[in-house]
Amino acid sequence: MTTLTFNVSVSSLYPSFVTQMRDAVKDPKTTYYDLNIIKKPDPKNKYLYVQVNAASEKDKPAISVTLQLQTRDLYIVAYRDRDHLGKDRAFYFKSMITEKEAFPGEKIKREVMTFAHDYPSIQKAANKNIENMEFQLPYLEDAMRKTYGMNTADHEAFKKAQALFMLYSIEMTAEAARFEYIRHKTVEQQKSDFMVASLVLKWDKLSEQIVWSKDDNFGTPITVKHPDGKPWIVKTVAEIKPHMGILSYVEPKKLDIQTMMNCHV
């Protein structure tokens, strides 16, 4: 089990934290066009835990929330914090894992999140769209503090706060690890754009085309969006490489001679 710790109150630590996330899930022996790829899924090492800490300040106490991510794809499947009585609790996406798989082995109350894990569902519950998000760590901290210790009795209020926390957590951890473009957005404290919203939906397809490319060329062009929303048809590795952080895992059975030529071990 690997656990990383990140202090959301100290922005200078963020770049190295994202690097640590990539290092924790990458195949240490294989790259494609100098891009790391997620290692083969290991049933004995299924999860990566990220402990997000917020320092105390004025009337705000120090708090800590732990995210549970799948090592095979960096999806956040659960998180742990405390309820309004100070007791540990965990919430999980039931379409991703079972109740027992949420922080396995721990004696903790587990509850199902009341929205699905896909972007449309999370955005609807949060009343927030990815392309309109603020990529600044204080927003993640605010969302984290809002849900930490919040009573779930007001179902709709809690659902909205929780979904917003999930949205910021996903973008500034998992998606920032997947895409250098998103990591850079957060480092520079910039607003999101249409390119962010399109990239996060095409990670698997972009990764596959990079792995299967022939002489830098994609076998199947992938359409994403420029920051202003205009279509961008990506045809080569060189075009998209600066924006990638780590490639998704590609099944070995799909590898061929050309793929092996692209690979550096």
- What is the pLDDT, as a whole number, of residue 252? 55
Q: What distances in angstroms separate CA 102 from CA 1, 20, 161, 190, one per listed residue?
A: 14, 23, 20, 33
Q: Which domains does the chain have, with CATH numbers?
A: 2-177 (3.40.420.10), 194-264 (4.10.470.10)
CB 180 within 8 A of CB 199: no
Exposed, middle or buried, 44 (CB in 10 Å: 0-12/13-18/19+)? exposed
Burial 115-147 (b: 16+ CB within 10 A, else e): bebeeebbbebbebebbebbbbbebbbebbbbb
d(CA 49, CA 71): 9
Helix (H, G, I), strand (E, B) or coil at 79: strand
Instruction: Give per-residue pLDDT as tens, 60-105.
Output: 899 999 999 999 999 999 999 999 999 999 999 999 999 999 999 9
State the average pLDDT over residues 190-215. 95
* Measured torsion, CA atoms of residues 24, 119, 55, 10, in degrees rounded to the nearest 10: 60
State the average pLDDT over residues 231-245. 98
Instruction: Give per-residue pLDDT as tens, 3-25.
Output: 999 999 999 999 999 999 999 99
Residues 6 or more apart whose Cβ sits within 8 Å of residue 126: 160, 163, 164, 166, 167
